[in-house]
């Protein structure tokens, strides 16, 4: 049996890029025609001229908070009242409505997400296959089936793979143990913490669960220590990274060397709070453009930090790899009663191309806050430092000291605002 879910997982990087970019203009045009919010995002752009990944930088990044605000505004009687009810529910971002959508889910906010009737809509079948799941097996799915799409994400993927699913959901640990003992599923999908609870409960009950040989985890961190714990209990656990908006973004393979990006998305690492892509290896925000015709999110900022790894995975899959989840990009903080956002620091950098990287340090105690903008500069001058201080004050309405540092000296951790104040 083949090592890959699809042979395109091992095509050359250049061939993949060419195929993705060839699909991009028509996908963007369809999104513009059917999703009003995307039409606004793409306004004034010549989509036929899009022929390189760098062209995407012309499109503003849409972040989850903006998606939520668009949905809330339309549901509460703001803009977009000319749209049909279903258009308002999704904030103008969905290309499908009732009837075309098989299900609708709710994430915290609430943000509502459609699921169409296309097989493996969320794209997790590829991750299941890489984790060792095969057609004809039973999958014990312990993601929630209530409100959120996590349960459906794994169920539709397992069905696309040719597997049967037991919808275990969450909770009822003793019943989970009994069902696994009775049905002998080949693998588990869910959070790693819940499978650990199930295995420990089985041990407590004096029962064995030998059939569970593999697991695909998501929704939580999966550190090496927990991976080792499962291995000691005969379970090979792998992780997949995704979101309720985008579906599966990247997944782990047997190489255990980063996460391989999904085939039907274009992934960028962007300066937190900004629009410009960062070089390979730099930590920044994961931004995704989907080629999903039903929910066509374009340059969608996940709010998660990661970095692109160099080279090709030892498993033979040739797509981009990311390091995995490395924290959150939204480092908004409040200083002297004013919110300071990473986007404001990104605007400072954009105004002053002499700055390679910057980090705002917020120090002192609440009520007597001190802001210091650390900037990487090759040739700092008093005039330039003064202009930088003016930009910070104009954009944040707050004063900051500007401190030049050597290029390359700021940590590569994606952090734009570092709040180190004492709250004692």
Q: Identify the structural domains of the chain with CATH numbers, from first to last.
A: 333-419 (3.30.300.30)
Number of helical (H) and strand (E) elements in the chain, helices listed first: 11, 21
| pLDDT score of 411 | 92
pTM: 0.85
Is residue 384 within a helix (H) or strand (E), and if so which, with residue range? helix 382-396
Q: Is the pLDDT of residue 115 over 80?
A: yes
| pLDDT score of 38 | 95
Instruction: Work out the average pLDDT over 132-138.
Output: 97
Residue-wise pLDDT for 371-397, tens only, equals: 999 999 999 999 999 999 999 999 988
| pLDDT score of 120 | 97
CA–CA gap between residue 90 and residue 96 (Å, rounded): 10
Q: Is the pLDDT of residue 423 over 60?
A: no
- Cβ neighbours around 55 below 10 Å, total: 16
Cα 35 to Cα 87, 115, 221, 294, 333: the distances in Å are 8, 15, 34, 9, 33
| pLDDT score of 221 | 83
Q: Is the pLDDT of residue 92 over 80?
A: yes
Residue-wise pLDDT for 157-202, tens only, equals: 999 999 999 999 998 999 999 999 999 999 999 999 999 999 999 9
């Amino acid at each position: 049996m083949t090592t890959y879910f699809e042979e395109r997982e091992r095509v050359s990087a250049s061939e993949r890029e060419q195929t993705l970019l060839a699909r991009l203009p028509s996908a963007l045009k369809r999104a513009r025609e059917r999703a009003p919010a995307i039409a606004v995002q793409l306004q004034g752009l010549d989509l036929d001229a899009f022929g390189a990944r760098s062209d995407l930088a012309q499109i503003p990044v849409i972040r989850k908070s903006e998606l939520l605000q668009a949905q809330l505004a339309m549901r509460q009687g703001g803009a977009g009242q000319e749209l049909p009810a279903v258009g308002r529910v999704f904030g103008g971002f969905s290309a499908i409505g009732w009837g075309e959508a098989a299900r609708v889910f709710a994430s915290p906010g609430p943000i509502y997400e459609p699921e169409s009737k296309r097989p493996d809509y969320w794209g997790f079948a590829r991750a299941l296959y890489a984790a060792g799941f095969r057609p004809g097996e039973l999958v014990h799915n312990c993601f929630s089936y209530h409100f959120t799409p996590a349960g459906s994400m794994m169920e539709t993927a397992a069905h696309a793979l040719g597997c049967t699913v037991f919808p275990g959901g969450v909770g009822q640990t003793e019943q989970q143990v009994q069902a696994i003992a009775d049905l002998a599923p080949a693998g588990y999908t869910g959070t790693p913490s819940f499978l650990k609870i199930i295995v420990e409960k089985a041990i407590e009950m004096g029962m064995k669960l030998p059939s569970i040989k593999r697991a695909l985890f998501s929704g939580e961190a999966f550190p090496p220590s927990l991976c080792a714990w499962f291995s000691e209990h005969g379970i090979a656990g792998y992780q997949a990274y995704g979101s309720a908006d985008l579906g599966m973004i990247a997944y782990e393979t047997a190489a255990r060397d980063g996460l391989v990006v999904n085939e039907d998305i274009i992934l960028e690492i962007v300066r937190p709070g900004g629009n410009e892509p960062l070089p390979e290896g730099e930590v920044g925000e994961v931004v995704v453009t989907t080629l999903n015709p039903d929910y066509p999110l374009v340059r969608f900022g996940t709010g998660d930090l990661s970095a692109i790894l160099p080279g090709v995975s030892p498993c033979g899959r040739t797509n981009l790899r990311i390091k995995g989840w490395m924290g959150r990009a939204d480092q908004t903080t409040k200083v002297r009663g004013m919110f300071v956002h990473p986007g404001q620091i990104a605007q400072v950098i954009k105004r002053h191309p002499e700055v390679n990287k910057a980090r705002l340090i917020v120090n002192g105690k609440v009520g007597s806050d001190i802001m210091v903008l650390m900037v990487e500069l090759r040739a700092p001058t008093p005039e330039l430092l003064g202009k930088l201080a003016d930009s910070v004050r104009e954009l944040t309405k707050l004063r900051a000291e500007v401190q030049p540092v050597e290029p390359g000296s700021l940590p590569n951790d994606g952090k734009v605002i570092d709040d180190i104040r004492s709250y004692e």
